[in-house]
Structure 1
Amino acid sequence: MRGTPFALACALAGCGADDAPAPMTLSLLKQTTDSCYLLVGGDTPARSLTFPFKLCDTPGITSVIAGATQLELIADYGALEFSESTAVPTPTITMTLDGAASPTPLGAARLPQGGRAVFGASFVAPAHPGAQLAFLVSATAGFEQDLGAITLAAPDLAMTIEPCPTAGPCSMVSSVGSVTVHVTVSGTTTQPVTLTSTLDRITQPDRVTIMATEPASPDHVSGMTSLPVPAGTTWQLTASAATTPAVGPVITLAPPVIRSALACGARCAADSTTELVVIAPRFIHPATAAVDITVAGAPVVTAGTVTLTEPDVVHDTISGRMSVVFPAKPSAAVAIEVNVAGYRANTLQTVLAP
């Protein structure tokens, strides 16, 4: 405690000239994901005090994560007893980072403790990894106390991608299905984690944010999201929270196998109608096929799209069908191109029989 608080403190408390007021004590507590508060700096709160939150019963990790740990600073004026009519000054709490004082003091509220003056201030640790965080608490001139510096830790971040293995290469089929991304980040408050995609070595402009809210341990929260597998040859995800990155494996993307067939085979009749079947991997996206038909080198304007709606769980495929009308042009060469999600099937060719 700085200065000599006797005169003012005794005036407030109504003590005698020979009485000495108890010193102010400070306790810095952090919230864990177990919904209890753990001492990380200063003095242990007096056992006689009650709080609107639970104190942790067992020791835990005392690190404070920059921008991610919920903190509570308790200022206890000591065993001084104040009458209900006494105006007890609310403390001014100045926070410093690397010795530089914050321009705005922390707001404090009195915690009900009968006649004892106890104040609390709730806040999230500043988002300055590596900085030295300290406090000066002043009730009035001469009645002050400081709390020594603690180092703000950078958040640690982990990412897993299902169905990739935890180690080793990962491969998938381009434009088929999705991945589930799990992130775990240190902290006790909701943490935004940003996902960035690199596709074929080009960083994509779109970002995805995962809000990590679920308790994963007393000092970590987690979150997850699903992402569709894109079209390309290589894909890599990077997660970032504050200044901490987590880089995923380079995922090799294999082209999907697209197949098509005509019911009439390679020898179809002129002036007839047949069925075109398109088969692609199940869960391909989009599940539609673009069909281009040329007859004797001229495109057919009426060629269109096929919606893939018939899943085959056994072969892990999905198919769709459309009717194809051949013109009355015997001996004309017909070519049919099928494209699903940017990937082509082998060209179907037939010569129209008379």
Structure 2
Amino acid sequence: MASCSGCFACFKFPRQRVEAKKTTVPAPKTQKLPLPLNVGFATLKLNQLESDDETLGPRLELRISATDDGYVTEEGLSAMLEFMDFVLDLPQVSCGEGFQLTFDQMLGTSYLEVIKRVICWSCEHGRTSKWVHRCKLWKIIVAASAYPQVSGFLLQGAFKFYPPPCTTYLLTDDDQNPNVKIFEPERETLKLARLEEDLQDEVAAHTDSEGHVHLQHDSAESLRKARNWGDSLPSEINVGFALVSQGFDGVEGYLKIKGLDGDLSMEGLNEMMDFMDAFTLSDKAQQGFSIMYDVRSMRSPSMQMVTTVAEWGAAPVRQKRWERLNHSCKIIITAGLRFTLAKGVLTTFFLMCPPVTRTYLMWDPDQALDTAALFEP
């Protein structure tokens, strides 16, 4: 790998100078940016763009430009990703307007693999929500003479399997205006990313010095009178954002929650939890039961709804009942970025309310279990 033209690890923020006269107020200084980094197949440089046009994205740009070398190595990839992690946590990025990411002349078989690698890396747990909220847009620049329409089709095909975490534009080297949008993440996907970040903050706020998470299990339960279904529990109810059904398949009971594209509400959530409580106390559930959440069409819940479910599920009496009766749990969500984000959300959620049985995160109800994400109790 070619030697770097400047290592980001050597970058230091400038010290503030002490003025001779205390009455003089020093002019605000722009923080220095890290030096460019050469990783062999590409050069990474953080730029401060001059344009104040917000429609063109953040003024801070991380540009990854292909070099004449073009030979991608694992060592170079690792250095590139480490530099990008460093940029992600810069004060100008984490506390400012974020940044935009530009791939300059990074098409071709090997470079397309680099873009895929960045996408997969950005979707890793603990990094996904940062990238979604700090990296505001991607730009991919290709040569105007290299059939940009073909490049667009090539990228769109790749993005079906490796969707970028933010809006992506295709530009040519003779037109730097981001006007050809080739990918747009779903709004609900962005909300899910925000939920993961908020959940991490919630867990941190309720974690003691020994690493245990403590919730106030009775805060909402003690204020709300649950609905008593008695002996007239229906086979299905519609709570607005989901159809909730129950039954007995001849061997054991089952609960199915099928998400709908409707507004989520606390009223509907409380009705659903009361229905599930009534089912677990019914005769159909006493030989055990399975539960399936199909949330592919459901909108992302609010932080309040998630913590309410966590408190409800972690209540000691209810938790013991579910540990005894619930034999299997499957959660179905759309494949791709939403699946990756959901995995992060569940990982954090289960710190507040541990699973009572083996829980599978899947993108298809008939998917082989060995290909699903597994959460152990």
The TM-score with structure 2 as length reference comes to: 0.23
Q: Name the structure with the higher strand share.
A: 1
Larger radius of gyration between Structure 1 and Structure 2: 1
Q: TM-score, normalised to structure 1's length? A: 0.24
Higher RCO structure, 1 or 2 (CA under 8 Å, sep 6+): 1
Which structure's residues are more often helix, by fraction? 2
